[in-house]
Amino acid sequence: MEEITMILRQFLHADPTAASYLLGCVGKGAGVVVDPLFPIEPYLDTAAAAGTPIRVVIDTHLHADHRSAGRALAEAAGAEYALHASANVGYVCRRLADGERIELGNVVLDVLHTPGHTPEHLCLLVTDRTRADEPWCLLGGHTLMVGDVGRTELAADAETGAHDLFASLVLLKALPDHVEVLPGALAGSVCGRGLSGKPGSTIGFERRHNAALQIDNPDTFVTFMLQNIPPAPLQAVELRAWNAGTPPQRAA
């Protein structure tokens, strides 16, 4: 009888401080990579060793702190490159809709549009149907991380972004306590203010101990998010434009 198992590999990076993921169904030979950084060889090598070809490469958002390896990895792997449908990009890619389901054998990814850190940000809710029919973990990108949430002014007005993020967090806070949180950034990243160096948590623990998730009033949350904003990443505008495949918009 064929063994059908889930694979999940976390790749931790130091320059910039970030996390990316390979996951999928080994039995059906279908994998996805989320938020890859250069070089692309570790993803290709790990997928090959696990017998899980990369079918889809997803960026949770258009990053402003590094050049995404998403398009290069998708081309090398013969995979689709995907972003949320609202992403304003200058190239053809797969456009993911809120609520869309990506099936990789027995591994299922549900797309959640979670604007705030950026307008096009998405999270991925992961279910392994060999274990259960309910979600097991959340790839939180830079929306929900361990100990903090994503800053809101890199791609939009900070106040507007904070209002959007509050609504996104209401959605994520409603997930069951046991759902694991796998973040896109850790302590040392400029995308948050109080990030932990621990590369994982749970919805229940973050709901109890993440200061941003303890705020139930949207106006109070906006005030909280506008305090102590760290300096923007170097070349943030240029990097986000490169990832979008569009020239940066400069003031006249």
In a domain, 241, yes or no: no
Going through the chain in order, the beta strands assigned E by DSSP cover: 6-14, 17-25, 30-34, 54-58, 80-84, 94-96, 101-104, 107-113, 122-128, 137-141, 180-183, 201-202
pLDDT bin (cut points 50, 70, 90) of residue 4 is low
Q: Is residue 98 part of a domain?
A: yes
Per-residue pLDDT band at 179 (split at 50, 70, 90): very high
Q: Tell whether 89 is covered by a domain.
A: yes
Q: Is residue 102 in some structural domain? A: yes
**In this structure, are residues 196 and 31 in contact, taking their beta carbons and an 8 Å threshold?**
no
- Domain tally for the chain? 1
Look at residue 240 and tell me if it is in a domain: no
In the predicted model, is pLDDT for residue 23 greater than 50?
yes
Q: Is residue 85 part of a domain?
A: yes
* Sign of the C-alpha dihedral computed for residues 240, 242, 243 and 247 taken in this order: positive
Tell me: the pLDDT tens digits for 116-129? 999 999 999 999 99
Tokens of 16: 């910039």
Mean pLDDT of 28-35: 97
Q: What is the pLDDT of residues 198-213, one digit of tens each?
A: 999 999 999 999 999 9
Q: Are strands 94-96 and 80-84 parallel, antiparallel or unpaired?
A: parallel
Does the structure show a pLDDT above 90 at 134? yes
Whether 40 is covered by a domain: the verdict is yes
Which pTM does this prediction carry?
0.96
Structure tokens belonging to residue 201: 């948590």
Q: What CATH number has the domain bearing residue 194?
A: 3.60.15.10
**For residue 27, is it within any domain?**
yes
Domain that residue 17 falls in: 6-229
pLDDT of residue 1: 39
Q: What is the per-residue pLDDT across 43-77, written as a single tens digit (0 to 9) for each?
A: 999 999 999 999 999 999 999 999 999 999 999 99
